[in-house]
Amino acid sequence: MKRRTLLLGTIGAMTLLSVGCQNVPAPEPVYPLPTQAQVNWQKMETYAFVHFGLNTFNNMEWGFGDTPESTFDPTDLNVGQWVETLKNAGMKGIIITVKHHDGFCLWPTKNGDYSVKNSPVQNGQSDLVRDLVEACKKEDLKIGIYISPWDRNHAKYGEKEYVDYFQSTIKEMVEDYCAANGVELFEFWFDGANGGDGYYGGERGVRNINPTEYYRYEEAANTIHSKFPDAMIFGGTVPTIRWIGNEHGYAGQTNWAMWGKGLPESRKLENGDINGPDWLPGEVDVSVRPGWFYHTREDHQLRSLSTLVDYYYQSVGRNANLLLNFPINHAGRIPTSDSIRIMEWKKTLDRQFANDLAAKAKFSATNERGRGYQAAKVNDGNWDTYWATQDGVTTGDIIASFDAPTEFNTVLLQEYIPLGQRIKSFTIEYKNDKNEFVPVASKDTMSTVGYKRLIRFDNVTTKELKISFTDSRGVPCINNISIYSAPAVLDVPKIVRSADGKVNINSAKGTVVYYTIDGTEPTTASLPFSAPFEFAQKGIIKAVAYDPTTNEPSPVGTQLFDIVQAPFEIMKPIADKGNKHAFDGNPSTSYYLPKGTNSLTFSLGGKYNICGLEYTPDQNRWGAGPIHRYKIYIDNKFIKEGEFSNIKQNPIKQYIEFPQTEGSNITVEVLRIADDTNRASFAELSVITE
């Protein structure tokens, strides 16, 4: 990728001011620079991912490519409902997975048969991708396309014939669907999973390929940019944006838009590279549910409101874009619960940023470049004007002064990124009752700014706020400072149960919680929660929290429990002092198999009719040992072999379902671990009984 620069005329028009006979020159750019297309992409901030396909109807995340097309059979397909929901939620565009790893095409491709044209939908006449493109055009939403390079169905995968087919699918999407319909293609998404890797391929779809050469990404980029020169490309060998390195909804607190060549570890992806020669801003992809595709079992696992709000602060608020995924259900719609939750999210964010207190402040600075670059430019509402210091001055303070004591808890900062990303560190202080500047109480590391940085802290009341830019790659260029008193987010109560059956319900400080144990909706007439209580049986607990000052309820929390884990015991290998970590009800603790051991057998403490197993790998931030492939035995009888798809990047609770089997002992045989460790981890093991 070549160094990206802006037209000098553009910079001059935006930043070179003539004041009488004196010209105040703009600061020199600090390279690398974004293209205008990259700037426009970052201004989108939030857009939607949509996952829908054979996996939806076969309870899978990564299909093997052998599922009959006839199983793709939504009962009430309505892409208009997707578009209406996502537009109302503030999304600027939609990226749809038109072909996942199983190879099934959501459009009637003219180059293959494994597609909707052989499904029962509209007697094979369905073309939901075209319907979506047309609906997006009508509602003025941009469209994005996801095509998996990997294909577990195509007989010629690994050979030249498959790549010709792969390239033809890209051309179809670009020319026949987007360009032909006059809709803007803003992003093309190439997944990193591929059959040239033993982990990703499992025992199906593995070929001896070099992904960087095999897929001909440069040709794909030429096809895309021939019709849509401003489209961003995610993945492959010629990306214009980068993956943030995790699927958990956050960018690094230090996050540079710069990047270099190679494929470093995920932690570096989260932070970018201050010395990188290319402009490659980060994109945070995360789902509103644990999985990317719809699973009925996850209906009660919708992300909480505060978690979704955190995703925004930790992505857009950390110099990245947020790609929020919506699994489409068996009917062919975004589930009602998900629609309600995302509208709660939109309403909450609107309230968080409804009143910019900076409009009431007067701004001054310790150093100003001259007219056209004064401190007052940080709140003039013009994105293309900014405060800057004199040449050679790479530090400086900006002070916001209020006429009266003002309460706030959030500060928003933005750099003028067309001239490069500069700020390396900053501090935020307020003047206290002793007329002294003291730091705000924030857990955030105040380092990079970039396109946008949001800092949250405990409420402070003051007449003066000071933001000190303490280190910079060049003259600071700050084009916006906003100050907010963001309302507290009333979250879903968290319902947890210990191994011995004691239930605790955690909620925000000062709230009042009510709960039910029969699956009914909780109200103020339900049981009030005051202390942990016994619930050692199988059942559903629901809880709601109320703010006593406003009487506003939180969203309802739901938790399904099966038999308690206290009687569970590891039989093989020989138990050690950490064996109970697999059954303690705490996913933050883990049991690891001893080195050289590839199976675990545990007793349930009684005989049950078992129809499933729940497995959670190590949940610590850099946890290791997630199981990828497995075999399950009950009382030494083989029950099932399978895989946990995408567990390496998304190490969430996994579910194994099988026909009802009576037994008392379960063996998990580990066939493959998803990372480079040689010990499988078990944060939690529990069973699903009939």
Alpha-carbon distance of 211 to 287, in angstroms, equals: 26
Residue 21 lies in a domain: no
Q: What is the largest CA-CA distance in the chain?
A: 92
Alpha-carbon distance of 514 to 528, in angstroms, equals: 4
Amino acid identity of residue 359, one-letter, is: A
User: What is the CB neighbour count within 10 angstroms for residue 206?
Assistant: 18
Which residue is listed with tokens 């507290």? 488
Return the sign of the alpha-carbon dihedral for residues 460, 378, 386, 411. positive
Q: Are 347 and 391 in the same domain?
A: no
* Confidence (pLDDT) at 575: 64
Mention every residue, 6+ apart, whose C-beta is less than 8 A from residue 170: 147, 188, 220, 223, 224
Q: Are 100 and 157 in the same domain?
A: yes
Specify the 3-state DSSP secondary structure of 20. coil
- 500: domain CATH number is 2.60.40
Alpha-carbon distance of 81 to 84, in angstroms, equals: 5
Q: Are 345 and 397 in the same domain?
A: no
Contact status, residue 111 vs residue 105, Cβ threshold 8 Å: no
**Helix segments in 63-197, DSSP class H:** 79-88, 128-138, 160-171
- 138: domain CATH number is 3.20.20.80
Residue 59 lies in a domain: yes
CA 68 centroid distance within chain: 31
Domain ranges, residue 685: 569-689
CB-count burial class (<10 Å; 0-12, 13-18, 19+) for 574: exposed
Say how many CA atoms lie within 13 Å of 466 toward its Cβ: 15
**Backbone angle region of 438, left / alpha / beta, with phi > 0 → left and psi within -120 to 50 → alpha:** beta
- Phi/psi at 4 (nearest 5 deg)? -95, 130
Residue 13 lies in a domain: no
Residue 28 lies in a domain: no
* Confidence (pLDDT) at 8: 35
User: Which segments in the chain show pLDDT lower than 70?
Assistant: 1-22, 196-207, 262-267, 575-578, 621-622
Q: Please give the radius of gyration of the chain, using alpha carbons only, rounded to the nearest integer.
A: 27
Q: Are 274 and 381 in the same domain?
A: no
Alpha-carbon distance of 300 to 508, in angstroms, equals: 20
* Confidence (pLDDT) at 577: 60
- 450: domain CATH number is 2.60.120.260
Whether omega before 617 lies within 30 degrees of 0, making that bond cis, reads: no
Q: Are 238 and 308 in the same domain?
A: yes
Q: Are 222 and 309 in the same domain?
A: yes
Count: domains in the chain: 4
Mention every residue, 6+ apart, whose C-beta is less than 8 A from residue 290: 298, 301, 650, 652, 653
How many residues comprise the chain? Answer: 690
Contact status, residue 194 vs residue 163, Cβ threshold 8 Å: no
Alpha-carbon distance of 689 to 538, in angstroms, equals: 9
Q: Are 635 and 682 in the same domain?
A: yes
Residue 680 lies in a domain: yes
Contact status, residue 476 vs residue 389, Cβ threshold 8 Å: yes
Residue of 683, 670, 680 whose CA lies nearest to 633: 670
Query: Two tokens at 172?
Result: 């179809």
CB-count burial class (<10 Å; 0-12, 13-18, 19+) for 279: buried
Residue of 112, 82, 87, 81 whose CA lies nearest to 99: 112
Q: 324 forms bridges with which residues in the sheet?
A: 48, 286
Write out pLDDT tens, residues 606-622: 999 999 999 999 988 66
DSSP E strands in 267-395: the ranges are 278-279, 282-287, 320-327, 362-365, 387-388
Residue 15 lies in a domain: no
Residue of 61, 614, 557 whose CA lies nearest to 294: 61
Cα 38 to Cα 6, 15, 240, 393, 460: the distances in Å are 11, 19, 8, 28, 36
Alpha-carbon distance of 473 to 475, in angstroms, equals: 7
Alpha-carbon distance of 322 to 308, in angstroms, equals: 11
Boundary (domain end) residue, out of 561, 580, 604: 561
Give exposure, 72-83, as e/b (b: 16+ Cβ within 10 Å): bebeebbbebbb
* Confidence (pLDDT) at 524: 95
Boundary (domain end) residue, out of 288, 316, 351: 351
Contact status, residue 659 vs residue 688, Cβ threshold 8 Å: no
Alpha-carbon distance of 91 to 97, in angstroms, equals: 17
- Phi/psi at 99 (nearest 5 deg)? -150, 115
* Confidence (pLDDT) at 648: 86
Boundary (domain end) residue, out of 351, 378, 409: 351
Alpha-carbon distance of 315 to 313, in angstroms, equals: 6
Amino acid identity of residue 72, one-letter, is: F
Q: Are 46 and 64 in the same domain?
A: yes
Whole-model pTM: value is: 0.86
Mention every residue, 6+ apart, whose C-beta is less than 8 A from residue 263: none
Report the 3 state secondary structure along 553-569: ECCCEEEEECCCCCCCE
Q: Are 236 and 319 in the same domain?
A: yes
Q: Are 532 and 618 in the same domain?
A: no
Q: Are 194 and 239 in the same domain?
A: yes
Residue 22 lies in a domain: no
User: What is the CB neighbour count within 10 angstroms for residue 22?
Assistant: 9
Q: Are 522 and 592 in the same domain?
A: no
Whether omega before 32 lies within 30 degrees of 0, making that bond cis, reads: yes
